[in-house]
A and B are shown apart, each in its own frame.
Chain A
Amino acid sequence: MSVPPPRMTQTTQAVLRTLLDEPEKQLYGLEICSATGLPSGTVHPILARFEALGWVDSAWEQVDPREQGRPRRRYYRLNANGIGMARDALARAYETRTRIVGRLRPAGDAV
């Protein structure tokens, strides 16, 4: 069985856009929180779903905590498959939103 695709809520889209801004850059949880303006309690379940889908890879920071004077961080990054899937998912979400807004707009507003 495959994990069902995530519901493309506004928060899910915000996390995806942050990860897609610089796909090659690894981000840790707090960076994603500050970039999206979302709390950790919202961001981490979304990241876990992306990991379950195989879109996101995560790994511990390769540093010596004693040298750094702090514990190691867990970094997240979209993988090659995830970049394509995330772009598709965002594009579909944008199309859906545009279609709904188009239906709601009064006929006289059409340009």
Chain B
Amino acid sequence: MAVIGPRPVLPARWLLGIVVIVLPAHARDRYREEFRTELAELSVAAQVVQAFSLLVGSGALRVALSSREVSTLGNSRRDWRCRLGRHRYVGRDSDNPEMRGVGYLQCIRCGKRRDPPSYGVMPAVALGRGGG
């Protein structure tokens, strides 16, 4: 995207680049633009101070943004085992009445769904690694 108007000085841009990397991917574009706008309205010295302040607060901002993400996805998303792909799948029946008998696997910790194996009988409880 083309940058319109004054740009922050180089050290402030470097710091801002680090701040944005710390943030969750879905929020990076928004905050990059927002912070760039704010920095561009300050004097050169204030830009560096402000960018450093943003860097110090980037961890807290990441936590705040992640809490929003978790609130929409469910508490169990935090479980470290699921983050490492170690889901705990159990067999579930499909909600669709036309698909009765054709179930799926769902992780009881994070809610991730997976298709059942295409062979054999689906286990009541299936332990296994998630596919990412």
Contact = CB atoms under 8 A, between A and B. Distances in A.
Given A40-B57, A69-B5, 14 more contacts: A1-B71, A3-B71, A29-B34, A41-B53, A41-B54, A41-B60, A42-B57, A42-B60, A44-B61, A48-B61, A48-B64, A48-B65, A74-B30, A74-B33
Interface of B: 3-6, 30-31, 33-38, 40-42, 49-50, 52-58, 60-61, 63-65, 67-68, 70-71, 74-75
23 contacts: A1-B70, A3-B67, A3-B71, A4-B67, A29-B34, A39-B50, A39-B56, A41-B56, A42-B53, A42-B57, A46-B64, A48-B61, A49-B67, A51-B68, A52-B65, A52-B67, A52-B68, A70-B5, A71-B4, A71-B5, A71-B33, A71-B36, A74-B37
Interface of A: 1-4, 28-30, 39-42, 44-46, 48-49, 51-52, 65-66, 68-74
